[in-house]
Amino acid sequence: MPSASWARQTIRRIVTAGLLAAAMTGPVAADRACPASLAVSEQPGKPACQLVAEGTLHSSLGNGDVVYRLYRWLAAGDEAASQLYDVAPYHNTAVTLSRAGAADEAPFFAAHYWLGVAWFETPYLARNARHGEFLVVPGRYTGTGSFVDDHVFVAAGSGWSEMRNSQSEDGAAPPWVSQLMARLPPHHGLWKGIRIDYSTLTGSSPVWRDGDGNCCPSGGEIRFRLRLADPQTGFELAEAHYRE
């Protein structure tokens, strides 16, 4: 099975117009074809790509809606993992974002994970008092070594711009994670699963001591707040409070 450090593969990202607000889940079309960017050879007896959920994010300003789609996407070599992880939500291994009403256009964002390594949760809009709104595509990993892998878009002019908030292709975490780790005592660390409330830019994580098992962090908790000075460089750590 591929490691988490290179499992996430971005297929296509193009920033287009559309300020989004609330989400409304729509019906799933059983015969909806997967985008060409997700086309792979199928496993014997199983479709390689299948639409499992979709919804529409509506613009509060009336300037265009965006459709998200979650897919069950299986790559060659996923046969063993599919025996354990081919169930919701773990099989939500691909996602696309498209402009509503623009059927002839390619998705402006598409990405996939490897089955058994990570999955996508339902995209949503987080309203923030200072920055307006963030469009969030949550990514979740099954193991350690993934601190945060949410794809976060900020409004930029008439479109959306993705900020650096997900792990890079070589597995490197966003810079603010290193700043957060520096606030911990020696022999303490953050191993996985940092969660953020993008409406307030606050978050928390359990803390692991050296020797802890993945299941059982014993080093307390750290709470933090992020700030956004420049969307081009992404979030920065504003404050952090560690409690044993």
Residues 141 and 178 occupy one common structural domain = no
Residues 205 and 232 occupy one common structural domain = yes
Residues 138 and 204 occupy one common structural domain = no
Residues 180 and 87 occupy one common structural domain = no
Q: What is the pLDDT of residues 29-66, one digit of tens each?
A: 333 557 766 655 455 556 677 889 999 998 675 556 78
Give the contacts of 1 (CB within 8 A, at least 6 positions apart): 80, 81, 114, 116, 117
Residues 82 and 2 occupy one common structural domain = yes
Beta-ladder partners of 97:
68, 109
Residues 114 and 36 occupy one common structural domain = yes
Looking at residue 67, its pLDDT comes to 87
Residues 49 and 102 occupy one common structural domain = yes
Last residue of a domain, one of 166, 182, 209: 166
Which range of residues forms the domain containing residue 209?
174-244
Q: How many CB atoms lie within 10 A of CB 124?
A: 17
Residues 129 and 65 occupy one common structural domain = yes
DSSP letter at 6? H
Looking at residue 25, its pLDDT comes to 33
Q: What is the pTM of this model?
A: 0.79
Residues 208 and 96 occupy one common structural domain = no
Domain count, the chain: 2
Distance, CA of 188 to CA of 210 (rounded, Å): 6
Residues 188 and 242 occupy one common structural domain = yes
Nearest to 75 by CA among 34, 24, 39, 100: 39
Last residue of a domain, one of 99, 131, 166: 166
Both tokens of 132, joined, read 């307006």
The answer to whether the beta carbons of residues 155 and 60 sit under 8 Å apart is no
Q: Is 97 exposed, middle or buried (0-12, 13-18, 19+ CB in 10 A)?
A: buried
Last residue of a domain, one of 166, 184, 214: 166
Residues 83 and 124 occupy one common structural domain = yes
Q: How many CB atoms lie within 10 A of CB 129?
A: 8
Residues 28 and 129 occupy one common structural domain = yes
Q: How many CB atoms lie within 10 A of CB 36?
A: 10
Q: Find where tokens 């994580």 sit.
A: 205
Q: What is the pLDDT of residues 122-169, one digit of tens each?
A: 999 888 888 888 889 999 887 666 678 899 988 776 667 788 776 666
Amino acid letter for position 34:
C
Both tokens of 57, joined, read 């994010």
Distance, CA of 83 to CA of 164 (rounded, Å): 34
Q: What is the pLDDT of residues 64-111, one digit of tens each?
A: 678 899 998 876 666 666 777 888 888 888 999 987 777 677 788 888
